[in-house]
Amino acid sequence: MATFEDFQKVDVRVGTIVEVEDFSEARKPSYKLKIDLGPGMGIKKSCAQLVKHYTKEQLKGKLVLCVVNFPPRQIGPAVSEVLTLGVPGEDKECVLIQPERDVPIGGRLY
């Protein structure tokens, strides 16, 4: 069983999606995202299977939650530096986890 101390090791931050591109090389329909995580962290790259529920236009400017302290992961020809968090919808496709209000980017989940 995970402890509270284990949970505290995972660094989840709020970011704003600033750029979205099709990721045509991915096995499943996906986007390549650039996410601004605020001063000190800057802009990080992420790959996410969001095509089913979101257009590129809907994603740009959206607040998201990201795990920022996992090691980078090679996904085909792209590197994902942060894990963008979501949950499966009724159709088993990713639905983003988002703050319900406007909050400052870079804020840590607690």
Mean pLDDT (whole number) for 31-59: 97
CA dihedral 89, 30, 20, 87 (to 10 degrees): 20
Position 51 confidence tier, pLDDT thresholds 50, 70, 90 = very high
> Cβ atoms within 10 A of the Cβ of 94, count?
20
Give me the percent of the chain exceeding a pLDDT of 70.
100
**Model confidence, pTM:** 0.94
Instruction: Give the integer Cα–Cα distance in Å for 53 and 58.
Output: 9
Per CATH, the number for 8-96 is: 2.40.50.140
Mean pLDDT (whole number) for 57-67: 98
pLDDT of residue 92: 95
The tens digit of pLDDT for each residue in 79-104 reads 999 999 999 999 999 999 999 999 99
